[in-house]
């Protein structure tokens, strides 16, 4: 089926939940495993991987302005979340900081950035050395390209 996908498509654009074990049953353990398999291409590049995560939220969080057009799904914060004296919290994450901590544990979200060359990123050696996994989904469906 990938023959009809966008030219240059690699992965991550289907509608399978990471938590899905293939039988419609969902579990966080399965999600954590599938997440890492996807990011490391554990089953070859052309294999079928999950793409989606689901989180609880409320209209109040959207109207509060904390979650409007962008969120961070990893341990890294958005630029405007790091300004507090305590180091910042995941206010943009659906459900807020405490919910993020739960999902961080259950899905091992901190591992998303494992293997990245932080020094190369800081030196802006983007083109030659750095590959970063995405951390900031934007409000869809018009996903905005993000600097690598």
Partner 1 sequence: MLTRNSQVGEFYVLQPPQVDPTDGDIANKGKGKFTCDALIYDEESDRHVRITWEQALKACCIKDNEVAPATNLSHPTKMMMASTIPGDQKSLKGWKDKADEWTAFNNGTGDVAYSQLDTDIRIVIARPFIEHLMHSVIMAVSGRDTGATLFGPADMQLSANTQVKTIEGACCARARTHSALHPWWPSPPPAAERTNRGAQATTRATSRPSSPSPRTCL
- Sole binder of partner 1 in the list 36, 37, 76, 99 (CB under 8 A): 99
Residue 114 within binding range of partner 1, rule CB under 8 A:
no
Residue 97 within binding range of partner 1, rule CB under 8 A:
yes
Tell me the closest approach of the beta carbon of residue 105 to partner 1, in angstroms: 9
Tell me the closest approach of the beta carbon of residue 106 to partner 1, in angstroms: 5
Residue 87 or 140 with smaller CB distance to partner 1: 140
Measure the CA–CA gap between 39 and 131, rounded to whole angstroms. 11
Ranges within 2-31 binding partner 1 (CB under 8 A): 2, 4-6, 8-15, 17-20, 24-29, 31
126 Cβ contact list (under 8 Å, min separation 6)? 120, 147, 148
Residue 77 within binding range of partner 1, rule CB under 8 A:
no
Residue 62 within binding range of partner 1, rule CB under 8 A:
yes
Measure the CA–CA gap between 55 and 72, rounded to whole angstroms. 12
Tell me the closest approach of the beta carbon of residue 85 to partner 1, in angstroms: 19
- Sole binder of partner 1 in the list 22, 42, 123, 144 (CB under 8 A): 144
Q: What angle do CA 67, 118, 134 make, to 5 degrees?
A: 35
Closest CA to 17 of 41, 1, 33, 40: 33
The CA distances from residue 6 to 3, 12, 92, in Å, are 8, 12, 30
- Sole binder of partner 1 in the list 34, 67, 77, 81 (CB under 8 A): 67
Rg (CA), the chain: 16
């Amino acid at each position: 089926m990938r023959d009809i996908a966008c030219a240059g498509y690699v992965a991550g654009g289907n509608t399978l939940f990471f938590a899905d074990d293939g039988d419609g049953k969902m579990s966080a353990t399965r999600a954590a495993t599938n997440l890492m398999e996807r990011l490391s291409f554990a089953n070859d590049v052309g294999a079928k991987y999950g793409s989606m995560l689901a989180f609880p939220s409320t209209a109040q969080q959207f109207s509060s302005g904390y979650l409007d057009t962008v969120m961070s799904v990893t341990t890294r914060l958005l630029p405007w979340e790091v300004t507090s004296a305590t180091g910042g919290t995941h206010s943009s994450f659906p459900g807020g900081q405490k919910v993020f901590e739960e999902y961080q544990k259950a899905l091992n979200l901190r591992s998303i950035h494992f293997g990245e060359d932080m020094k190369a990123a800081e030196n802006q050696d983007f083109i030659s050395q750095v590959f970063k996994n995405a951390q900031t989904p934007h409000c869809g469906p018009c996903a905005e390209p993000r600097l690598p």
